[in-house]
Amino acid sequence: MAFFPTTRSEVQAWLQRFQSVNDSLDASRVGEIYAKDAKVQFGNLPLVEGLDELKSLFGRSWENLESMVHEIENFDMIENRIYQSCHITWQVKNDPEKEKVVVPAMAVIHLVESGDEKGLVKRAAYYMDGAPLAAVYQRLS
C-alpha cells in the first residue's frame, strides 16, 4: 500500500486491494498491507503483534481454506481509521459437501499516516462469529 487514502474512491480502492491480499490466502503477502509492528485483534482472541506473528497466524488459518472472499458492504474513514462492514465467504479444503460458509464481519483499521509505511495497517480489530466455520472443521474431523 503505497498511499494513504483521502477520498471515498481512494478508500474503496484501498479496501479492495487490502481484501484481495487477504483473499489470496498467501501469507507471504501480509507485508503488502501490514506495517512491521502491526497489532491485530480478532474478537476476544489474544492480540497478535508484528509481521512474523501475523504471517504465522494467517498461514495456519489459511492453509485449510480452499477459498475466502470478502464482499465489502459499507465503509467510512475518519482521520486514519477505516470502518468497514462486509460478508466473508469461506470454503474449506477437502470438504466433500463443498459448503460455503458466509458470515458478516466488521473491521476497524488504523493506518500509518506518514513515513515509509504510510498507508499500511498499524492496528486493526476484526469482529465476526467464527462458529459456522468451526462447525465445518468439526464436521470434517
> Using one digit for the tens of pLDDT, what is the confidence trace for 1-27?
468 999 999 999 999 999 999 999 999
Per the domain annotation, does 111 fall within a domain? Answer: yes
In terms of pTM, does the model score above 0.85? Answer: yes
Q: Among 70, 64, 59, which Cα is nearest to 30's?
A: 59
Write down the residue that cell numbers 470478502 correspond to. 70
Per the domain annotation, does 1 fall within a domain? Answer: no
Own/partner contacts of 92-95, CB < 8 Å, gap of 24 or more, are 92/64, 92/65, 92/66, 92/133, 92/136, 92/137, 92/140, 93/64, 93/65, 93/66, 94/140, 95/66, 95/136, 95/140
Per the domain annotation, does 2 fall within a domain? Answer: no
Per the domain annotation, does 3 fall within a domain? Answer: no
| 32-84 confidence digits (pLDDT tens) | 999 999 999 999 889 999 999 999 999 999 999 999 999 999 999 999 999 99
Helix (H, G, I), strand (E, B) or coil at 99: coil
Task: For residue 68, give the CATH number of its domain.
Answer: 3.10.450.50
> Domain count of the chain?
1
